[in-house]
Structure 1
Amino acid sequence: MAVPTQETPTQDALRRSGKDNNVPRPNGTLLSVENLAVAYGRNAVVRDVGFSLERGQSLALIGESGSGKSTIAKAILRLLPHDDVTVTGNVRLDGRETLGLPDRQFRPLRGRQLGFIPQDPGSALNPVRTIGSQAHEAAGLLGGTDAEERRSRILAVFEQVGLPDPVRVYNSYPHQLSGGMLQRVLIGLTVLPRPSLIVADEPTSALDVTVQKLILDMLSELRQELDIGLLLITHDLAVAAERADSLVVLKDGAVQESGTARQVFEAPRSDYARSLHADVPALNPDRYRSQPSAHNQEQADDGGLPVSVGLAQFGGLAQPGGSADSAPHIDVRGVTKRFSSRGKDVLAVDGVSFAVKRGTTHALVGESGSGKTTAIRLLLGLEQPDSGDITVGGDGIHGRSHADLRGVRRHLQLVYQNPFTSLDPTWRVSRIVREPLDQFDVGSKAGRAERVQEVLASVGLPESVLGRRPAHLSGGQRQRVAIARALVLRPDVVVLDEPTSALDVSVQAGILELLARMQREVGLTYLFVSHDLALVRQIADTVSVLRRGQVVEDGTVEQIFSRPQHPYTRELLDAIPRISRPAHGPDTQHQSTTPEQFAEATP
């Protein structure tokens, strides 16, 4: 590794914390995994897995849920449960076999040589203890230093990972910090003891795209400057291709293929890797962007009318004869909303305006705190605006009686971000999907049961799920149940709040295919809220970019992505992962291409 000619912020922080960054580490293989197999009882979940990681390099384990990624990581970290679990094979760290070590010999390796960054910083930190008090546990791994010296090293590493006002962070409780700040805290505490290897389990899956870029840039800098090996676990193939030197593709606990990032993404050999490649939004920007064509052949309620007529008859917002060229289906004009927080007024939405044509998809994008959630709560009538107007299908949302608003909400449905928390865990799928029909007293009991079966079939779920509870479904199945529940009343507007953010790329692709198909068949109007701009480019027709409660730019997807005008929009677009092609060698640089260029060059 070349020695930098100038002291970087990382080196400066380490020097002041008492660490010498320029002490070289031996070259060679840092982690070697051979013939690794894991079984729960008689159920083999990982089979014959092998790979190696060089010091200072990064390797990504990629695959969908159930592929064995996290199980492999836990086997390396010795965090698998002891009961009824069998682990065989060889795991060597710095040439030392670790699977067979007694616990008393392996335990000192955790933290000091093996670092771990979990997926959810909110659950990884104790909510009733300050960040500083928890940081002292990591600092204790540095050896015999007094409390004041440990505090200095903690503050230095917080500065190192880019946390503003390290003293405030040190004195804060977890709930007082944002998700991005909590993730930086965990990264700082992981690198503080200077481990040889860091295992990062989906470290950016719940973060805004700009915060994700900052976190990944930080990990790359730390890896290169501290000569740390990085084992990255992710289902985001664009992130893996951009950030990892080599990839291991997993399916059903077995390696499908492995190699450099360039090899796997330029010429995937396995059918599974090619399928994953096709599902990456950044590589396939136009996959779902066909013009929707609503045929309105669905029958409404029990009257045998086309959807638009049926909705109008039952007090809905759709009007017969509407088209994408008529007046906006959703019209938000000059909406403002203030909240009081800790005795201060917070302007959450400031003069927001946007319009959505019938049968199209409009996206609201922006970082956390940009006003996206407040805007959709105002649209759904869950909050009242301080000023401005919102109409759907020509009817105003606000100033209505409770009964009128209830009728509006029947045809204005919401799909939440996390289906596991939005679905009652004690109810079976049949009751979850049927409940809206019960609440609005739609049809007979037999008719409701038939409607539930029809809508489940339309979202690609078999009748066998009717008797299951949410805990017995996969993440993709739960999200399909949530979509079925939203569609069972046959609404004409569906608000989608980060509907695929917690899903694997292949499951996400299935959900997006479903949404695109339903829009073509029924003419649904979607308001799509997301921080994933690559996904927005695939699914949306028009976009509004929000920043600090204001719309800074809006237009068609082509305008926003090809000719962004506002610096903030350009910043968001720059944060979309670019597919890197590592060029190995001491004097070479990583070269990146845009997703479009890479897709054109890919067979």
Structure 2
Amino acid sequence: MTTELLRVADLSVRYGRQQVVHQVGFGLAAGKALALIGESGSGKSTIAKAVLGLLPGHARATGRIELNGTELLALPERHFRQLRGRTIGFVPQDPQNALNPVRSIGSQAHEAARLLGPGDSAAERQAILDIFARVGLAEPERIYRAYPHELSGGMLQRVLIGLAVLPRPALIVADEPTSALDVTIQKHILDLLDDLRGSLGLGLLLITHDLAIAAERAEDVVVLKDGAVQEAGTSSAIFRAPRSAYARQLQADVPALNPDRFRITGQTADAGVTAIRFRSVSRTFHADGRAIRAVDDVSFEVAAGSTHALVGESGSGKTTLARLLLGLDSPDAGAIEVDGQPVQGRSREALRALRRDLQLVYQNPFTSLDPTWTVRGIIREPLDRYGIGTRREREERLHEALTAVGLAESLLDRRPGKLSGGQRQRVAIARALVLQPKILVLDEPTSALDVTVQAGIVEVLCDLQRRLGLTYLFVSHDLALVRQFADTVTVLRHGRVVEQGPVEGVFLRPAEAYSRALLSAVPRPIPDTVPAAECSPASV
């Protein structure tokens, strides 16, 4: 019989007059995983903060939270401080911001090691090196000496997991621990958490908006919306037969479950016209006396009106290729053409003219918009910069772009801070559209968004492509979304092309081992919920 580790009963949380969590309840057994899922604003992180005793001072929580029978909500802070780290571990979402950038990894790790009890520095250091090896860091000594900026996102996340489990807590709270990671690194991190659960008997409270991850990695799921439980039960039961309308909507929006949702073959693509052409393009950077080949002899073509995806792990060359296309960097060798015209070798004015037809939608809608500008000013800025039309004509174009992305005119005088993540990304798309370009470069345009908001953005992009004949270069590490959205794909590794071709062919019949490894790392839903062909190791 499994022992109940965590019990939450009738938990309600209020910030001032606004109630954000409504009588939530669930239980978690030792050695098991429970996932809290829902979109932004659903109350997931507030519940996690309540469990960790980290609610802000103006918050008021009622109900009960028991950990191994100890009631936490009424616990004085001086007593709760003894539990954090020792009994309750925390893995935050963003590893870049969770560690002090001016201190070495080792110096920060000693803070966690001291929670083990009295011990000398040498014993602490050895415990740190041992846990770094345990979480799969190949060079523990180098990691110990390194600073955060010297490590990749995946390595930093392993460091954080190591520091969380080092004091041997009974419970780990993991807040979106893989949302910013490539699919293969994501799989390694999730495998690591599973292994630690099994070997150390940890309970895992997993905060995520990814239903596929919840179904694959947690025994139980609690579905939240607007701070209230919509549905709760075993992940297999909820995934196979969701009872609530909201859970069914979440399921419908999971790309891995609906690979053909946005696919309308051949409606806009013009196979006879090449919008983008890369021919034997290479780019080398130099750092610390070393030559780094970021792009190595890459060639591909994109038909007008189609979507071409660049996929691969961090460091594969995806972003460098996008920067080269936009003229933000120049290749060492090879040629890049847009509508048959070369990108490199242009004067500053000629390159500026080219960019009217070549616009970029950035990855993060929370940082790509000036927080001091209104929506009106953000969308109109490109028209003002290029001096297009009269004031009245610019206003008309602004309203056309706003309508095209499905935003209400009532938002025009708001600033980004008053918009949701989905609304911000629609503003970013409208800003890119207002110049009426032919090509959009989409750099991870939905990676910072919840799955339902992501589906809405993809619907907007597909509709715009059908109506306006736009060509998309889509940079992404979300292979399930690539399967839904792209027509053709180039798989990159260490700056070189591994394989490329139509999405259907590459995803269902990958020719290269690396492509198969990428595809097998994608979280897959429970096998009997989708057609067998979609659940084979070579598919998403």
Same fold (TM over 0.5): yes
Q: 2:129 aligns with which of 147, 155, 159?
A: 155
1:47 alignment partner in structure 2: 22
Alignment of 1:247-396 (within 5 A): 247-291=221-265, 293-294=267-268, 324-396=270-342
Mean Cα deviation higher: 239-248 or 443-452: 443-452
Q: Are 1:488 and 2:462 matched, yes or no?
A: no
Q: Are 1:100 and 2:74 matched, yes or no?
A: yes
Q: Do the aligned partners of 2:240 and 2:529 also contact (CA within 8 Å) in 1? A: no
Q: CA deviation at 1:420?
A: 1.8
Q: Do the aligned partners of 1:293 and 1:521 also contact (CA within 8 Å) in 2? A: no
Q: CA deviation at 1:42?
A: 1.3
Q: Are 1:58 and 2:18 matched, yes or no?
A: no
Instruction: Give, as a single letter, the amino acid of the residue that structure 1 aligns with 2:162.
Output: G
Q: CA deviation at 1:329?
A: 1.4
Q: CA deviation at 1:343?
A: 2.0
Q: 2:493 aligns with which of 547, 550, 553?
A: 547
Q: Do the aligned partners of 1:283 and 1:596 also contact (CA within 8 Å) in 2? A: no
2: CA distance, partners of 1:290 / 1:144: 64
Q: 1:538 aligns with which of 480, 484, 500?
A: 484
Query: Residues 537 and 131 from structure 1, CA distance in 2 versus in 1: closer, same or farther, beyond 3 angstroms?
Result: same
Q: Are 1:421 and 2:363 matched, yes or no?
A: no
Instruction: Give, as a single letter, the amino acid of the residue that structure 2 aligns with 1:46.
Output: V
2: CA distance, partners of 1:214 / 1:406: 43
Q: Do the aligned partners of 1:292 and 1:519 also contact (CA within 8 Å) in 2? A: no
Query: Residues 177 and 595 from structure 1, CA distance in 2 versus in 1: closer, same or farther, beyond 3 angstroms?
Result: farther
After superposition, the C-alpha distances for 1:143-168 in whole angstroms (9 at most, x for unaligned) are 01110000000000000000011000
Identity %: 64
Alignment of 1:136-147 (within 5 A): 136-147=110-121
After superposition, the C-alpha distances for 1:552-574 in whole angstroms (9 at most, x for unaligned) are 10010111111101111011001
Unaligned runs of 5+ in 2: 536-540
Q: Are 1:74 and 2:74 matched, yes or no?
A: no
Q: CA deviation at 1:27?
A: 4.1
Q: CA deviation at 1:292?
A: 5.5
Q: 2:150 aligns with which of 165, 171, 176?
A: 176
2: CA distance, partners of 1:292 / 1:492: 18
Q: 1:229 aligns with which of 197, 203, 226?
A: 203
1: CA distance, partners of 2:411 / 2:514: 44
Instruction: Give, as a single letter, the amino acid of the residue that structure 2 aligns with 1:36.
Output: L
Instruction: Give, as a single letter, the amino acid of the residue that structure 1 aligns with 2:52.
Output: L
1:246 alignment partner in structure 2: 220
Mean Cα deviation higher: 387-396 or 492-501: 387-396
Q: Do the aligned partners of 1:578 and 1:595 also contact (CA within 8 Å) in 2? A: no
1:510 alignment partner in structure 2: 456
Q: 1:461 aligns with which of 407, 411, 415?
A: 407
2:162 alignment partner in structure 1: 188
1: CA distance, partners of 2:529 / 2:493: 25
2:3 alignment partner in structure 1: 28
Query: Residues 363 and 594 from structure 1, CA distance in 2 versus in 1: closer, same or farther, beyond 3 angstroms?
Result: farther
Mean Cα deviation higher: 337-346 or 352-361: 337-346
Q: Are 1:412 and 2:347 matched, yes or no?
A: no
1: CA distance, partners of 2:450 / 2:149: 27
Q: Are 1:573 and 2:519 matched, yes or no?
A: yes
Q: Do the aligned partners of 1:285 and 1:537 also contact (CA within 8 Å) in 2? A: yes
SS in 2 for 1:400: coil
Instruction: Give, as a single letter, the amino acid of the residue that structure 2 aligns with 1:271.
Output: A
1:447 alignment partner in structure 2: 393
Q: Do the aligned partners of 2:214 and 2:221 also contact (CA within 8 Å) in 1? A: yes
Query: Residues 36 and 361 from structure 1, CA distance in 2 versus in 1: closer, same or farther, beyond 3 angstroms?
Result: same
Q: CA deviation at 1:599?
A: 7.9
Query: Residues 598 and 325 from structure 1, CA distance in 2 versus in 1: closer, same or farther, beyond 3 angstroms?
Result: closer
SS in 1 for 2:271: coil
Instruction: Give, as a single letter, the amino acid of the residue that structure 1 aligns with 2:222.
Output: V
1: CA distance, partners of 2:214 / 2:420: 24
Q: CA deviation at 1:293?
A: 3.4
1:205 alignment partner in structure 2: 179
Unaligned runs of 5+ in 1: 1-25, 295-322, 581-591
Q: CA deviation at 1:75?
A: 0.7
2: CA distance, partners of 1:189 / 1:265: 33
Instruction: Give, as a single letter, the amino acid of the residue that structure 2 aligns with 1:329.
Output: A
Q: CA deviation at 1:325?
A: 2.2
Instruction: Give, as a single letter, the amino acid of the residue that structure 1 aligns with 2:65.
Output: V
Alignment of 1:108-119 (within 5 A): 108-119=82-93
2:538 alignment partner in structure 1: none
Instruction: Give, as a single letter, the amino acid of the residue that structure 2 aligns with 1:248.
Output: V
Q: Do the aligned partners of 1:282 and 1:595 also contact (CA within 8 Å) in 2? A: no
1:303 alignment partner in structure 2: none
After superposition, the C-alpha distances for 1:481-501 in whole angstroms (9 at most, x for unaligned) are 000000000101000000000
1: CA distance, partners of 2:271 / 2:44: 48
Q: Do the aligned partners of 1:292 and 1:523 also contact (CA within 8 Å) in 2? A: no
2: CA distance, partners of 1:107 / 1:35: 24
2: CA distance, partners of 1:143 / 1:291: 63
Instruction: Give, as a single letter, the amino acid of the residue that structure 1 aligns with 2:259.
Output: P
Instruction: Give, as a single letter, the amino acid of the residue that structure 1 aligns with 2:79.
Output: Q
Instruction: Give, as a single letter, the amino acid of the residue that structure 1 aligns with 2:36.
Output: L
1: CA distance, partners of 2:286 / 2:137: 27
Q: 2:63 aligns with which of 89, 92, 116?
A: 89
2: CA distance, partners of 1:424 / 1:389: 34
Question: Computing the radius of gyration over CA atoms, which structure comes out larger, 1 or 2?
Answer: 1
Q: Are 1:597 and 2:532 matched, yes or no?
A: yes
1: CA distance, partners of 2:385 / 2:80: 57
SS in 2 for 1:268: coil
RMSD after superposition: 1.3
Query: Residues 598 and 388 from structure 1, CA distance in 2 versus in 1: closer, same or farther, beyond 3 angstroms?
Result: closer
Q: CA deviation at 1:327?
A: 3.3
2: CA distance, partners of 1:345 / 1:185: 28
SS in 1 for 2:367: helix
Q: Are 1:556 and 2:502 matched, yes or no?
A: yes
Query: Residues 396 and 594 from structure 1, CA distance in 2 versus in 1: closer, same or farther, beyond 3 angstroms?
Result: farther
Q: Do the aligned partners of 2:318 and 2:492 also contact (CA within 8 Å) in 1? A: yes
TM-score by length of 2: 0.97
Q: Do the aligned partners of 2:12 and 2:21 also contact (CA within 8 Å) in 1? A: yes
After superposition, the C-alpha distances for 1:67-103 in whole angstroms (9 at most, x for unaligned) are 00000000111101112x1100000000111111111
Q: CA deviation at 1:43?
A: 0.7
1: CA distance, partners of 2:81 / 2:331: 56
2: CA distance, partners of 1:262 / 1:327: 47
1:19 alignment partner in structure 2: none
Q: Do the aligned partners of 1:415 and 1:482 also contact (CA within 8 Å) in 2? A: yes
Q: CA deviation at 1:291?
A: 2.7
Q: Do the aligned partners of 1:365 and 1:543 also contact (CA within 8 Å) in 2? A: yes
2: CA distance, partners of 1:122 / 1:291: 40
Q: CA deviation at 1:593?
A: 6.1
Instruction: Give, as a single letter, the amino acid of the residue that structure 1 aligns with 2:103.
Output: R
2: CA distance, partners of 1:107 / 1:89: 21
SS in 1 for 2:85: coil
Instruction: Give, as a single letter, the amino acid of the residue that structure 2 aligns with 1:525.
Output: T
2:190 alignment partner in structure 1: 216
